[in-house]
Amino acid sequence: MKKFKRIAIANRGEVAVRIIRACEEMGIETVLLHSEVDIKSRAYRLATKTICIGPAETAKSYLNIQANIEGALAGGAEAVHPGFGFLSENAEFAEACENAGLVFIGPSAKTIRLLGDKVHCKELAKRAGLPLIPGYEGEAQDLSSLVAEVEAIGLPVIVKAAAGGGGRGMKLIRDLKEARNLIESAQREALSAFGSPKVFLEKYLERAKHIEFQIFGDSTGQVKHFYDRECSVQRRHQKIIEEATSPSLTEELRRRMGEAAIAIAQLGNYRGAGTVEFLLQDGDFYLLEVNTRLQVEHPVTELVMGVDLVKAQILTAQGEYVFRSQQVRIPQGHSIECRIYAENPYLGGVPSTGLLGKVFWPEGPGRRYEFGFEEGDEITPFYDPMIAKVIVWDETRQRTIQKMIRVLKDSLVFGVHTNIPYLIEILGHPQFVNGTMTTRFIETNFAEPIIAPILSEIDKEIIKKAIQQSHGARLASGRSSEATSPWQTYWRGV
């Protein structure tokens, strides 16, 4: 296969920047396929070429297959990188790319259908004898049958959308009397969010940890794993802090889970980057799902394994990425990633939108910042509120936690609120420090909004200066009419 001269990016924000950086280093041009509102973003400024594919509404732009294909072709791209989220796990999109003569950077449409669909994946895993969470993933979708299945599984039971993802559309049944209502509402949500009302059931594991393996299939069909990540720190089933490797695995468990991850990937003839997710409880592990794409938290794996997963994806799509048999990779040190969300931690995490003021990410050894927005850019209410990721590496887990806390304390974001103060509290919690946190850690320990700090006179003075400068940026960007109240502006405090 020939080398790509130009790749289209069907995504936005920090992952679009991540892909642009990999392409730049490889001498490949980029075409950013963006929505109308994303012209004030870093990816827009960094891409070789930009093509507007539609309005802010995702269904008309980032989720619109035809618009993305037309944009990629008009931009002269030979391949499409879908990033994560949006169309990245959409088999129809992968197929549409191939039909249009574009290389989809990811596994084949067939693999996505086999493994990316939660129900198909479970059927495949069951046949291969892999451990699954007890549940029901049958065809019968009427309420009486589903309630009977809930009873048979035994409470608590979680209802999930078959076509779901991103932690949405899940309902937890703890009381049989509520089963009907919860199933019905899960079906309604599934239909509106994913276009299909189909649901399936799983026993809810109360003390589980979320452990996942980074898998990779090279151009010749060899599949390996690049070890594990732990993502147990979640809020409403969405990850906030991830780390590599997991502090919870014995060598024996790591070996068995790694083998299971490779086995399921091989069944799907995996090519490129993917993730096999498991829940681990009381020493037993269960397959949760396979994500047939790059994962938000891929940088922690990159730091401990010494790999560049995005370049590896591109090289695989070019037919050039081949594992050398004598090469043994083992993880070095420890890495943690924190997702920075534009939200107000003092109001329980309500989204915080507006124009971004001064931003400062403190440089130093073993730190990496992935961000899609800079001073003067707009954080809009249309998309996921994640504005950046902070990733650190150090030799031990304890020192990595220490480093992350210092880095977050030294980071500055003006203009919008962020969850940085919340993250700092989580990182200092004894259960996180000793690595015993489960997926219910946040729900149990951080149910209440955190308390706002009392700022010193010096802090207030610094904030005032920075706000004045941010207002300068706002004026320069021609949006003075939208100046927000200074009280809305947050500075983390020390």
Q: What are the catalytic residues?
A: 293
Positions in 323-382 near ligand ADP (CB under 6 A): none
Element (H, E) at 9: strand 6-9
Q: Determine the interface stretch with ligand ADP among 16-24, 141-149, 159-167, 369-377 (rule: CB under 6 A).
A: 159-167
Question: Between residues 288 and 315, which has the closer beta carbon with respect to ligand ADP?
Answer: 288
Cα-to-chain-centroid distance, residue 111? 20
Interface with ligand ADP includes 41 (CB under 6 A)? no
Q: How far apart are CA 38 and CA 61, in angstroms?
A: 11
Positions in 179-218 near ligand ADP (CB under 6 A): 202-205, 208, 210
Question: Between residues 278 and 490, which has the closer beta carbon with respect to ligand ADP?
Answer: 278
**Contact with ligand ADP (CB under 6 A) among 58, 234, 292, 418:** 234
Instruction: Judge whether 239 and 340 are in contact, CB under 8 Å.
Output: no
Question: Between residues 102 and 279, which has the closer beta carbon with respect to ligand ADP?
Answer: 279
Question: Between residues 193 and 483, which has the closer beta carbon with respect to ligand ADP?
Answer: 193
Size of the site for ligand ADP (CB under 6 A): 19
Q: Determine the interface stretch with ligand ADP among 162-170, 341-349, 441-449, 471-479 (rule: CB under 6 A).
A: 162-170
Question: Between residues 66 and 444, which has the closer beta carbon with respect to ligand ADP?
Answer: 444
Instruction: Judge whether 493 and 413 are in contact, CB under 8 Å.
Output: no
Q: Determine the interface stretch with ligand ADP among 100-108, 157-165, 185-193, 310-318 (rule: CB under 6 A).
A: 157-165
Q: Determine the interface stretch with ligand ADP among 50-58, 102-110, 165-173, 334-342 (rule: CB under 6 A).
A: 165-173
The 8 Å CB, 24+ separation contacts for 484-487 are 484/354, 484/355, 484/415
Smallest gap from residue 273 Cβ to ligand ADP (A): 17
Q: At what angle do helices 420-427 and 397-410 cross, to 10 degrees?
A: 150
Closest CB to ligand ADP belongs to which residue?
A: 439
Q: At what angle do helices 65-74 and 91-99 cross, to 10 degrees?
A: 30
- CA-to-CA separations, 145 to 240, 327, 377, in angstroms, rounded: 36, 52, 51
CB atoms < 10 A from the CB of 126, how many?
Answer: 13
Q: How far apart are CA 489 and CA 358, in angstroms?
A: 11
Torsion of CA 391, 392, 395, 400, to 10 degrees: -100
Interface with ligand ADP includes 246 (CB under 6 A)? no
Instruction: Judge whether 234 and 240 are in contact, CB under 8 Å.
Output: yes
Measure the CA angle with vertex 344, ends 485 and 476; round to 5°.
Answer: 40
- CA-to-CA separations, 199 to 41, 159, 317, in angstroms, rounded: 37, 7, 34
**Contact with ligand ADP (CB under 6 A) among 101, 154, 166, 381:** 166
**Contact with ligand ADP (CB under 6 A) among 101, 134, 154, 167:** 167
Element (H, E) at 216: strand 209-217
Interface with ligand ADP includes 235 (CB under 6 A)? no
Q: What are phi and psi of 65, to 5 degrees?
A: -60, -50
Question: Between residues 131 and 165, which has the closer beta carbon with respect to ligand ADP?
Answer: 165
Interface with ligand ADP includes 171 (CB under 6 A)? no
Interface with ligand ADP includes 438 (CB under 6 A)? no
Question: Between residues 33 and 133, which has the closer beta carbon with respect to ligand ADP?
Answer: 133
Q: Determine the interface stretch with ligand ADP among 123-131, 164-172, 370-378, 419-427 (rule: CB under 6 A).
A: 164-172
User: Would you call 387 helix, strand, or coil by DSSP?
Assistant: strand
367-371 and 359-360: which strand pairing? unpaired
Contact residues for ligand ADP (CB under 6 A)?
Answer: 133, 158, 164-167, 202-205, 208, 210, 234, 237, 277, 279, 288-289, 439
